[in-house]
Every structure is written in C-alpha cells, then in structure tokens.
Amino acid sequence: MPRMRGGVFEKPQGPSARFCLNGLLFGDQARGGHDTHPDPALLPFDWAGVFGRRAPLALEIGFNRGRFLRALAERFPERDHVGIEIRRRYPWVLAHTLAEAGPENVRIIWGDGKALLPSLFGEGSVSHLYINFPDPWWKSRHAKRRLVDSTFAARTHELLAPEGRVWVKSDVPAIAEEIQAALETTPLRGPIPFEEADLPLTHRERRCLQQGLPITRYAFEKPA
C-alpha cells in the first residue's frame, strides 16, 4: 500500500471501504467531490442501517485530516459520527486509518457538504453539527463557495433535532461574524460561547494556539 505523510493514500477497498460511503452512495469509491449526488433510490438515507444501531447522529463538514472527528467519536461512543470532506485525499487516507484503528462509530464521505446536506439528512435527524475553521474564500469571485449562508443556516435549523446544536470555531473574525449573522436569521438560539476544552482540538486550532491567534467559538441551539 502506498504510504504518504499522514497515512495510506489509496482508494478505499476491503475493510476501509466500510468506512467511506462513496461506494454505497455514488456507486464507486472513486466518484465524489463537487456535483456528486446520491442515488435517489437510497433516499431517505438509512443511517441506522449504516451504523447498525439507532443513535444520535453528529456531523462534521470539512474534517480535513479527521483528527477532531476521530477524537469526538472516541469521546462520545454513544453517538454516531459522519464526516464530509470535499478534498479526496483526506477521506481516502482517513478510511484506511479508521479500518486500522477505529473508532467504529464514524463514517466519511468525499463530497460537498453544502450540496449533500439536503438529501442525506432528514428534518430533526442531526443532534450536533460541527463547522471548524471553514475556508474563508477571500476572493470575491469565490465568495459563493463559503459554506454558511442564509440558505445553509435555514437548512441547519431544519435538520437539527430539538436541543441539537451547531458548533462553530473560526480564527477569522469576519467569517465568525458572517456565520453568526446567518444563524441569527433562523429560530436557533445563540450565540452560546464555549471553551477550548469543551471539544477536541482540530488541526487548524492547534496551529492557531501555537501561534497565539485568537479563536472564536460559539454554538447555536434548536429550542426544544
């Protein structure tokens, strides 16, 4: 198996294919990324079938190397965790790590979180949604790629379970403010500040802490 910095980079197959859902959703582990949508015959998607149990579902969009996602799943074994990442190398590497070292309560998708949200997650089906250091997309022509806008915020409100939370971390004050403004257009309650120790650290967060950069952390909650 080809080993690169950070793990094995190879199309998930054998034991690792179980952790990466692209084969199931799109018919091939090598299909994913932008503009890839699940087979309509699979919808509404049966998450309990995938995990083999009915448990609260947590979702991270943009998991990158997956350090946070794995630590989160270890911290909350009673929940099931789904990660969506747009860049192929990260899910491919993480699928092998999960097959080798777990934890078992994680599944990942190489895809666009923004596009997959409406089809894969039904109303009230997600207990926790994590948005960690989303790309700022500085150039104005790329602004439409930003993850959280008012449409995404409305969708977040819909998919969260009562008392469910969306958790946001960012080192870019303008992005933290923009996300907060989008979430404030919904009936979600917040912002509720939280501390560094309340959640595992992400890769980007570690670097910010080493460099002494300020980090904004808040959550919004769906009223019961």
Binder to ligand SAM among 8, 20, 58, 61 (CB under 6 A)? 61
Residue 149 annotated among the catalytic residues of the structure: no
Query: Quick count: other Cβ atoms within 10 Å of Cβ 99?
Result: 18
Size of the site for ligand SAM (CB under 6 A): 19
Contact criterion met (CB below 8 Å) for 83 and 69: yes
**Measured between alpha carbons, how far is 85 from 110 in angstroms, rounded to an integer?**
5
- Establish if 147 lies at the interface with ligand SAM (CB under 6 A): yes
- Establish if 112 lies at the interface with ligand SAM (CB under 6 A): yes
- Establish if 203 lies at the interface with ligand SAM (CB under 6 A): yes
Exposure letters 194-214 (e unless 16+ CB within 10 A, then b): eeeeebbbbebbeebeeeeee
Contact criterion met (CB below 8 Å) for 133 and 217: no
Q: Which residues pair with 20 in a beta bridge?
A: 108
Residue sitting closest to ligand SAM (CB): 62
Please name the residue that has the structure tokens 């250091």. Answer: 133
CB of 38 to ligand SAM, least distance (A): 15
- Establish if 32 lies at the interface with ligand SAM (CB under 6 A): no
Binder to ligand SAM among 70, 96, 114, 128 (CB under 6 A)? 114
- Establish if 62 lies at the interface with ligand SAM (CB under 6 A): yes
- Establish if 113 lies at the interface with ligand SAM (CB under 6 A): yes
Output the six-digit token pair for 8. Answer: 């094995």
User: Segment near ligand SAM (CB under 6 A), from 13-21, 94-102, 107-115, 178-186?
Assistant: 107-115
Antiparallel, parallel or unpaired: β 189-193 and 216-221: antiparallel
- Establish if 132 lies at the interface with ligand SAM (CB under 6 A): yes
Catalytic site residue from 28, 39, 135, 198: 135
Contact criterion met (CB below 8 Å) for 128 and 167: yes
- Establish if 178 lies at the interface with ligand SAM (CB under 6 A): no
- Establish if 152 lies at the interface with ligand SAM (CB under 6 A): no
- By CB atoms closer than 10 A (0-12, 13-18, 19+), residue 82 is buried
- Establish if 86 lies at the interface with ligand SAM (CB under 6 A): yes
Nearer to ligand SAM, 24 or 109 (CB): 109
Nearer to ligand SAM, 94 or 183 (CB): 94
- By CB atoms closer than 10 A (0-12, 13-18, 19+), residue 158 is middle
Query: What is the contact surface with ligand SAM in residues (CB under 6 A)?
Result: 61-62, 64, 84-87, 112-114, 132-135, 147, 202-205
Catalytic center residues: 135
